[in-house]
Structure 1
Amino acid sequence: MTLSAVKTHRELLTDRATGHGMPGGLFGRQDVFENDVDIFFTQHWILVGVTSDIAEPGDVSTLDIGKSSILLIRDDDEQVQAFRNVCRHRGARLKPAGKSTVGLLVCPYHQWTYDLDGSLKHAAHMGQNFDPTCKRLIPVHTKVVGTHIFVCLADEAPEDISYLDHVMSPRFAQYELTYSKIAHESEIIENGNWKLVIENNRECYHCAGTHPELTASFLPEDFGFCTDGLSEDSLQALDEYHRRNADTKRNWENEGYLCDAVEHLGEDVVTQFRSQRLVIAGHGESQTLDTRVACTRLFGHITRRDLGDMHLWTHNSWTHVMSDHAVISYIIPLAPDKTLVRTKWLVHADAIEGVDYQLDKLTEVWAATNLQDASLVGITHSGTQDPAYAPGPFSAFTESYVDQFSRWYSARLAAHGV
């Protein structure tokens, strides 16, 4: 194929038939990947951590996102700050990726020294006319919602993060997630494009056949179900499932717990998210194999174990909060075919491992599910790069959120002139 015959990013988007998957070029091409990072991970709000990543003043968490790098810092006033990881002298990185604790931020090159609020405190040999107030660290837009740390690297951040905050803050309030700690965290590099990671997360069409641990507590019917061909007994069982869900929801709402689905997902939306309190199967307490709590020290001042799963999706993350623990995952794209998935398991800050919880029970469901998903993403990415690949139709019953994500993706690119 000649260079002139190579389709543009926009032409690849217009190739997508209505209700069908994306063409392979949108997953495998380097130019598409670079556009995606610039738009979806720079111009949009993204989840990059939790408050317990930087629990104490002086704690720093450094993350690389494409060519950018940011410092998440807990300052001396215990506020969460975020700065570009670029020295204002000659651009050296102040900290490598990972976590650390500092008193001051000292550039390893020429020892320019910054306070935790980003102000330049020391710069040797710059003369009396040098004004250090002009060389503060460059701030990054930051929003803490519950325990979630969202940032936006754009000069002007989308304003509708305020709606996410408005919806989610009261939903997270009773859990008091800022008074939590990380019991365990994991990193998986999935061999697939970031959009395939999110598409996989947006449907449970695959769950029954691939996620035995997850479906012990998670109900795939919550995200679509086709009744064609079901027996009378199966239809009755499905009706009973819907009645049980409705009864549980009324019970929660009578006690003041927010339940309804909120979907901020349309093509005119910038900061995309979805939330709902979902019923947990079995004993209904937590996402564990026996569906009972993994941690007996519940969040906040909660006494009720069966509060379901308060979930939150964004375009780079998914969260599940139960009465006893939370599982928060977010993604960072590394290459067209490489995506970093970070997952953190949170418990009450005073919970003691071996007394209040056993780590294997706490992590058994999502540790297995993440590995299974990584495998699914890998074989799907590989298949989309095969010359024989032709995008197939989505299930209108179980993949509507995948189709919606595809439409939102196209609309956001168009909004940025792609």
Structure 2
Amino acid sequence: MIVMTDAHAIMDMLRRRTPGYSLDAPLYTSAAAHDLDMDLIFHRHWIFVGVTPDVPEPGDVMTVEVGQSSVLIICGEDQEIRAFHNVCRHRGARLLSGPKGTVGNIVCSYHGWTYGETGELLFAEHMGPDFDRSCHGLKPVHLRTLAGLIFICLADDAPDDFDRMAQDIAPYIAPHDLTNAKVAHSWDLIEDGNWKLTMENNRECYHCAGNHPELTVPLQEYGFGFSPDELDDYRKADVAKYQDELDVAYARWAAMGLPSEELENLAAPTGYRTQRLVLMGAGESHTLDTRRACNKLLGSFTDARLGGLSLWTHPNSWHHFMADHAVTFMCMPLGPDRTLVRTKWLVHKDAVEGVDYDLENLTRVWTMTNRQDADLVALAHSGIAQPAYEAGPYSQFTESFVESFCQWYGARIAAGLGQSLTLVDETVAAE
């Protein structure tokens, strides 16, 4: 429960933030800020929770934990995917405990209350002739899918901008045909830091060259921002070569019907950004040899040299789509200083492990990168928690998307509290 004194203090910190500088320490470290984030961000926005191949067949079900809320997601006989609060309407028992399973009906193990795939209460013994089952169905949760990505919203009234995001983003990711893919591997990693640090770390590649030797094999640093004034002649030539390769690739991909140009709307309640980038070397995949990790390509692709399509959504996801596989990432706060990062690797549903792909080769780049990022997030959080910490400046070239995220975060907290947020540039005010 957030008390108004906490909310006032948090809003004061957000209003005092100098644009282009990091947040005040309590916004990363305090229990009050964590509680406000869960209430105003994770319980009121569209959040990414999984992929349709998580529940591909009727009766397939998975559970997702969002703070103190548990949500069950089930595929019905009509192939519709629905979400409900994982709470029995009798005396509140948790209905499903495991992360995934297959059910006929949803049966509470406490007293046997039984629910159908659309949430209606089908059976409740010994409740008397006047009991109205129609008033005791499962409580629904908003759910939308976007070309195979699953989003939920726990609010009574979900943000109304999902359709715009879907209209913009679907043409980019639909050709990868996730609905006809399968989850080859899923991995949960707990980072010892605040969720905002996890997202900020993801929104920049300033740190990549020195910390991600595996990731920087397929990915070119110039695709993520750089300072042109600091480049020597050799690196300037390298940038020019990369831009030429990008222009050629964009023309080739456009001829194939694949949108590639940068598209973003990061200030929206459901903020998003996507862009297809050239991969280095063989240009096929996020692997150490830059060649495809899966011989059976996604969708109807026949050309593996389709680069890497990057997609971000606020508040909690990032994704990479190649011709041969896709990687999805979900960020979920577990406390002020603990964050779950759930990574899933998807391949064509007919691909066979050991024949079409080697699991270690498929997952190596991002398992290593995730572990490295977890170490960096822990370092950042431990430093921010020290008394000597003060907000530091972002690079205008390589950390502009971190600033965009912080602006989005402040605006959404303010909107949730029914307030407006105009940042004060203290450097200008001082003049």
Residue 147 of structure 1, CA deviation = 1.4
Q: Deviations over 1:359-410 (max 9, x none)?
A: 1110010010000000000010110000000111000000000011111111
Residue aligning to 1:396: 396
| Partner Cα separation in structure 1 for residue 6 and residue 235 of structure 2 | 52
1:53 corresponding residue in structure 2: 54
Task: Check conservation: 1:186, 1:342, Cα contact below 8 A.
Answer: yes
Other-structure match for 1:75: 76
Deviations 1:22-62 (A, max 9, x none): 11100000011000011111100000111111121111101
Q: Give the C-alpha shift of residue 15 in structure 1.
A: 3.1
Matches of 1:117 and 1:49, distance apart in 2 = 19
How far apart are residue 7 of structure 1 and its match?
A: 7.3
Q: Once the two structures are superposed, what CA deviation does each residue of 1:318-365 show, in whole Å capped at 9, x if it has no partner?
A: 110100000001011100000000000000000000110001110010
Shift of 1:5: 11
Structure 1 window deviating more from structure 2 (361-370 vs 160-169): it is 160-169
How is 1:191-230 mapped onto 2 (pairs within 5 angstroms)? 191-230=192-231
C-alpha distance after superposition, 1:274-301 (max 9, x if no partner): 1111111111111111111000000111
Shift of 1:6: 11
**Rounded Cα–Cα distance in structure 2 between residues aligned with 1:396 and 1:229:** 13
What SS class does the counterpart of residue 228 from structure 1 fall into?
helix
- Report if aligned partners of 2:218, 2:285 keep a CA contact under 8 Å in 1: yes
Q: For 1:295-310, list aligned pairs within 5 A.
A: 295-310=294-309
Aligned residue type for 2:16 = D
Taking the aligned partners of 1:257 and 1:6, their CA distance within structure 2 comes to: 45
1:414 paired with 2:414, answer: yes
Counterpart AA for 1:308: G
The SS at the match of 2:361 is: helix
Q: Report the alpha carbon displacement of residue 178 of structure 1 after superposing the two structures with TM.
A: 0.3
Distance 1:115 1:282 in 2: 51
Counterpart position of 2:107: 106
2:170 maps to 1:164 = no
1:248 — aligned with what?
A: 249
Aligned to 1:14: 15
The residue type paired with residue 171 of structure 1 is Y
**Conserved? CA contact 2:6–2:32, under 8 Å:** no
Which residue of structure 2 lines up, in the alignment, with residue 319 of structure 1? 319
* Conserved 8 A contact 1:63-1:97: no
CA gap 1:229/1:341 in 2 versus in 1, 3 angstroms: closer
Write the mapping of 1:136-175 to structure 2, written as runs, cut at 5 A: 136-175=137-176
Moved segments of 4+, more than 3 Å: 4-7
**Other-structure match for 1:38:** 39
Give the counterpart letter for 1:82 in structure 2: A
- CA 1:138–1:287: 2 relative to 1, 3 Å: same
Query: What amino acid is aligned across from residue 273 of structure 2 in structure 1?
Result: R
Contact 2:245 2:278 (C-alpha < 8 Å) held by counterparts: no
How many angstroms does 1:228 deviate by? 2.3
Rounded Cα–Cα distance in structure 2 between residues aligned with 1:219 and 1:61: 36
Query: Are the equivalent residues in 2 in contact too, given 1:294–1:358 (CA < 8 A)?
Result: yes
1:287/1:5 CA distance change after superposition, 3 Å: closer
Structure 2 runs not aligned, ≥5 long: 420-431
* Counterpart for residue 291 of structure 2: 292
Aligned length, in residue pairs? 414
| Structure 2 letter corresponding to 1:395 | S
Aligned residue for 1:155, secondary structure, equals: coil
Shift of 1:250: 1.1
Task: Say which is worse superposed, 77-86 or 393-402, in terms of deviation.
Answer: 77-86
Shift of 1:104: 1.1
SS of equivalent to 1:327? strand
Residue of structure 2 in register with 1:333 after alignment: 333
Deviations 1:164-187 (A, max 9, x none): 111222222222110111111100
Cα distance in 2 between the residues matched to 1:171 and 1:317: 16
Inter-partner Cα distance in structure 2 for 1:296 and 1:224: 32
CA distance in 1, matches of 2:410, 2:386: 23
Pick which of 290-299 and 236-245 moved more: 236-245
**Residues 369/304 of structure 1: CA separation in 2 closer, same or farther (3 Å cut):** same
SS in 1 for 2:100: strand
For residue 19 of structure 1, give the secondary structure of its aligned residue in structure 2.
Answer: coil
Query: What letter matches 2:113 in structure 1?
Result: W
For 2:386 and 2:106, how far apart are their aligned partners in 1? Answer: 48
Larger deviation, residues 287-296 vs 101-110: 101-110
Indicate yes or no: 2:369 matched with 1:369. Answer: yes
Secondary structure at the aligned position of 2:176 is classed as: coil
Counterpart for residue 343 of structure 1: 343
After alignment, is 176-185 or 12-21 more displaced? 12-21
Native 8 Å contact 1:64 1:97 kept in 2: no
Q: CA deviation at 1:231?
A: 2.0
CA distance in 2, matches of 1:61, 1:13: 37
- Measure how far apart 1:74 and its partner are: 0.8
Q: Cα–Cα, structure 1 residues 229 and 276, in superposed 2: closer, same or farther, change >3 Å?
A: closer
Aligned to 1:405: 405
State the AA in 2 paired with 1:396.
Q
The offset of 1:257, in angstroms, is: 1.0
2:361 partner amino acid:
K
Q: Secondary structure at the match of 2:19?
A: coil
